[in-house]
Structure 1
Amino acid sequence: MLRWLIVVVLALLVFNGLRPWLEKLGLGRLPGDLRWRWRGRPWSLPIASTLLLSLIAMAIGELF
């Protein structure tokens, strides 16, 4: 359980840092990614993209 939580947190950090580049690839706009505007500022909660990135990271981790 703790390993999965660490992978999700790392995926969130990677997604946040690489968001402009990843949005060009379509990540951040998947069904399940929440976007809204509150007090004039855009907010996003990339649930589906985070799960996808964490699954990819786990698959790479299993290979090595």
Structure 2
Amino acid sequence: MPDLTEAVYLSDPMSALEPVPNFSCDVCASLGRQREEARARQDMATVSDCNVEIRRHPHKERRTS
């Protein structure tokens, strides 16, 4: 039977790279500002919510041709 008394170390999900807002987009720029304000007041739930919204916010890809 395996020894279940050893400590388990989990990675910190907040250490993953955060999405970079597209500052030419008003929605992304606003979310980026909200995220930094939330981080300043240590409101990590709102930081996480802003990250999700930035990731999900659609942008049409520009075609170069």
Answer yes or no: same fold by TM over 0.5: no
Question: TM-score scaled to structure 2, two decimals?
Answer: 0.35
Greater RCO between the two (CA within 8 Å, min separation 6)?
1
Question: TM-score scaled to structure 1, two decimals?
Answer: 0.35
Greater percentage in strand: 1
